Chain A
């Protein structure tokens, strides 16, 4: 679980946060509601998760709320990998 959290956090920072942005992203930082990740970009984040963890995340569960923090993302992925 911790390893997955670190990997997802790293991906989010690499892909959605610029180096000189004054933004600290942690496991519980809101991503969607804060605007760091917009709803369209959720698709590429979902694609990353599905490929890396070899899961299929149902569209009706991949909601903005479920993708709003690294913690909630990991909980969703874990539900479908366990």
Chain B
């Protein structure tokens, strides 16, 4: 057991959450309104709350964003800059004919325009659809087709992938390049550089309400293609309160969330939560090296750092000595998300930085932190912590779906529906949404499911709860691969693998990895005329990297004469996974005979 953040020399004397136990007793989501000093006559629009509202409250000149890119590129923006530049994007989109409710994809590196345009899309009533810009053209196409995306904002660097798929996406009518050389645009593409455009001081913000769609994030499942988790403007209450109580942000903090807004952490806690609270945050748009990250913390006097286990383990690998070369004394609070944070990493961070990384657990679908370790709480290294006040959580029996009362028994992590940031639907997939609720009545609509206090939303992850109420992560309950904190669907990888001319059949699983928790391993059979070789393996790896993404790239490929299947012909991934992880293979009665 390690000491709590309260006891740390650098820890905080008084945290925002105060006593966790007292918060449990007296909880109401209305507290989020008090945290924001919210009046009921205000406009509930995330884009305006994060920019216009901060200015209106007298903080227009406060620094909102400190941005650094590769090399010496650095720029700083105030909340006034956020306001006029997001207005600029909003007005430009309206002028282009983009309407409220249209899906607008943001497909770019972590450049300032990504942040301005995110707020701008929300201000004009559009649905922001951020996508990880390392996605290959096939991953991009699947997600744009599913969303029926009308406009995409991208850069010269990434527009090539859009050009490859444009003709198969009839609903995608606007390709807007926001950075690069305008002379290199193709027919039908439009250039808009918000930083050189005239500032737009006033914009008539869309009159959104709590249930107006806001952000659409795609997430992977075991079967089928990725699903679009739809969030709404009312999500802000969950994001604001968790930002305040878990990340413990205050007015004078300099906050660094290392996540890319292509993933939900990068929007919920890399944009919405901190900026709604008027916090200065910084962004590093550069590749990872330990020395670069430490330099960034030192130069910007970062106080609160929200990162991921993969990055923390990479920093561990490079050792304490590298950290000692920098002044990291500004740090006062550290948190982690994406995958379970191993106990060793918690202990190491306390030894190295004088502060433990506090693990947080949540998902694309939950929209905000659900289970966490809190400032001031006794930390048990390796534990996920306890449910956020206002969240009713349980671990359900794997078969009966009844809550498990006995400490230490493993089951499914589940939550009673209805918290503010909960996703409202999987876009165009009501049956899949319904399938996430234990005991859901046939045909129940998404809003009925969310309003039913007798149901459980089942997360897809397994854990146990100890006698003191701490949750301990065990693993996924499905075949989805968690690599570096990002979920990758095996079906998507397998579909792409069999598009390679040499591959007849494929199965993809996660295999253990010291840094990334899991990495993708593929098992393949070859078409006649092809032979297994190291060169072919490398060729297939690069094929998937370009088609899908570096995350989806198998880091190992095993050639097989045949894949294990059920008698009905379904590939038995769990059999391959069990062998890879050295686990019991379980019931093989359905395995196809040789």
Chain A positions within 8 Å of B, measured between CB atoms, are 15, 18, 20-22, 30-41, 43-44, 47-48, 51, 59-60, 63-65, 68
Q: Smallest Cβ distance from B20 to chain A, in angstroms?
A: 35
Give the residues from 531 to 563 in chain B that come closer than 8 angstroms, CB to CB, to chain A. 534-535, 537-538, 541-542, 545, 550-551, 553, 555
Stretch in B49-57, B187-195, B284-292 touching the partner: B284-292
Q: Is the CB of A35 within 8 A of B553?
A: no
* Given A31-B287, A37-B287, 16 extra CB contacts under 8 A: A21-B157, A22-B181, A30-B70, A32-B287, A33-B289, A34-B71, A34-B287, A35-B109, A38-B550, A40-B553, A41-B545, A41-B550, A47-B541, A60-B317, A64-B289, A65-B289
Q: Is the CB of A34 within 8 A of B541?
A: no
Q: Is the CB of B286 within 8 A of A33?
A: yes
Q: Is B446 an interface residue (CB 8 A)?
A: no
Nearest 3 pairs between A and B by C-beta?
Answer: A40-B550, A41-B550, A32-B287
Q: Is the CB of B537 within 8 A of A63?
A: no
Give Cα A66 to B142, complex, Å. 36
The number of inter-chain residue pairs (CB within 8 angstroms) is 76
Q: Is B184 an interface residue (CB 8 A)?
A: yes
Q: Smallest Cβ distance from B373 to chain A, in angstroms?
A: 26
Specify which chain B residues have a CB less than 8 angstroms from the CB of A63 in the assembled complex. Answer: 317-318
Specify which chain A residues have a CB less than 8 angstroms from the CB of B314 in the assembled complex. Answer: 39, 64
Q: Which residue of B lies closest to A47 (CB)?
A: B538
Specify which chain B residues have a CB less than 8 angstroms from the CB of A35 in the assembled complex. Answer: 70, 109, 285-287
Q: Which residue of A lies closest to B486 (CB)?
A: A40
Q: Is B74 an interface residue (CB 8 A)?
A: no
Q: Is B351 an interface residue (CB 8 A)?
A: no
Specify which chain B residues have a CB less than 8 angstroms from the CB of A43 in the assembled complex. Answer: 519, 541, 553, 555
Query: Which of A31, A44, A51 has most B Cβ within 10 Å?
Result: A44
Known: A22-B181, A33-B292, A44-B553. A39 touches B287 (CB 8 A): yes
Specify which chain A residues have a CB less than 8 angstroms from the CB of B286 in the assembled complex. Answer: 33-35
B445-487 CB contact bits vs A (8 Å, 1 = yes)? 0000000000000000000000000000000000000011000
Give Cα A47 to B290, complex, Å. 23
Q: Is the CB of B534 within 8 A of A51?
A: yes
Q: Is the CB of B484 within 8 A of A40?
A: yes
Give Cα A15 to B2, complex, Å. 46
Specify which chain A residues have a CB less than 8 angstroms from the CB of B541 in the assembled complex. Answer: 43-44, 47
Specify which chain B residues have a CB less than 8 angstroms from the CB of A38 in the assembled complex. Answer: 134, 287, 550
Give Cα A65 to B292, complex, Å. 10
Specify which chain B residues have a CB less than 8 angstroms from the CB of A21 in the assembled complex. Answer: 157
Give the residues from 297 to 347 in chain B that come closer than 8 angstroms, CB to CB, to chain A. 314, 317-318
Give Cα A18 to B157, complex, Å. 9
Specify which chain A residues have a CB less than 8 angstroms from the CB of B318 in the assembled complex. Answer: 63, 65
Q: Is B207 an interface residue (CB 8 A)?
A: no
Q: Is the CB of A41 within 8 A of B553?
A: yes
Q: Smallest Cβ distance from A72 to chain B, in angstroms?
A: 11
Q: Is the CB of B542 within 8 A of A15?
A: yes
Give Cα A78 to B66, complex, Å. 40
Q: Is B160 an interface residue (CB 8 A)?
A: yes
Q: Is the CB of A51 within 8 A of B535?
A: yes
Specify which chain A residues have a CB less than 8 angstroms from the CB of B285 in the assembled complex. Answer: 35
Specify which chain B residues have a CB less than 8 angstroms from the CB of A60 in the assembled complex. Answer: 317
Q: Is the CB of B160 within 8 A of A64?
A: no
Specify which chain B residues have a CB less than 8 angstroms from the CB of A65 in the assembled complex. Answer: 289-291, 318
Q: Which residue of B lies closest to A50 (CB)?
A: B534
Q: Smallest Cβ distance from B322 to chain A, in angstroms?
A: 9
Give the residues from 148 to 183 in chain B that come closer than 8 angstroms, CB to CB, to chain A. 156-157, 160, 181
Q: Is the CB of B317 within 8 A of A44?
A: no
Specify which chain A residues have a CB less than 8 angstroms from the CB of B109 in the assembled complex. Answer: 35
Q: Is the CB of A44 within 8 A of B70?
A: no
Q: Smallest Cβ distance from B26 to chain A, in angstroms?
A: 44
B195-206 CB contact bits vs A (8 Å, 1 = yes)? 000000000000
Specify which chain A residues have a CB less than 8 angstroms from the CB of B160 in the assembled complex. Answer: 18, 20
Give Cα A68 to B535, complex, Å. 24
Specify which chain A residues have a CB less than 8 angstroms from the CB of B317 in the assembled complex. Answer: 60, 63
Known: A20-B160, A41-B545, A47-B541. A32 touches B289 (CB 8 A): yes
Pull 26 A–B residue pairs with CB atoms less than 8 Å apart, ordered by A: A15-B542, A18-B160, A22-B156, A30-B70, A30-B287, A32-B289, A33-B289, A34-B286, A34-B287, A35-B287, A38-B134, A39-B288, A40-B550, A41-B553, A43-B541, A43-B555, A44-B542, A44-B545, A47-B541, A48-B538, A59-B514, A63-B317, A63-B318, A64-B288, A65-B291, A65-B318
Give Cα A30 to B70, complex, Å. 9
Specify which chain A residues have a CB less than 8 angstroms from the CB of B157 in the assembled complex. Answer: 21
Q: Is the CB of A51 within 8 A of B538?
A: yes
Give Cα A62 to B181, complex, Å. 36
Q: Smallest Cβ distance from A19 to chain B, in angstroms?
A: 9
Q: Smallest Cβ distance from A2 to chain B, in angstroms?
A: 24
Specify which chain A residues have a CB less than 8 angstroms from the CB of B134 in the assembled complex. Answer: 38
Specify which chain B residues have a CB less than 8 angstroms from the CB of A34 in the assembled complex. Answer: 70-71, 286-287
Q: Smallest Cβ distance from B286 to chain A, in angstroms?
A: 6
Give Cα A20 to B156, complex, Å. 9
- The listed residue (B184, B288, B537) touching A32 by CB distance below 8 A is B288
Specify which chain B residues have a CB less than 8 angstroms from the CB of A32 in the assembled complex. Answer: 287-289
Specify which chain A residues have a CB less than 8 angstroms from the CB of B542 in the assembled complex. Answer: 15, 44
Specify which chain B residues have a CB less than 8 angstroms from the CB of A40 in the assembled complex. Answer: 483-484, 545, 550-551, 553
Give Cα A18 to B318, complex, Å. 31
Q: Which residue of A lies closest to B541 (CB)?
A: A44
Give Cα A71 to B197, complex, Å. 41
- The listed residue (B70, B514, B551) touching A33 by CB distance below 8 A is B70
Q: Which residue of B lies closest to A21 (CB)?
A: B157
Q: Which residue of B lies closest to A39 (CB)?
A: B288
Q: Smallest Cβ distance from A51 to chain B, in angstroms?
A: 5
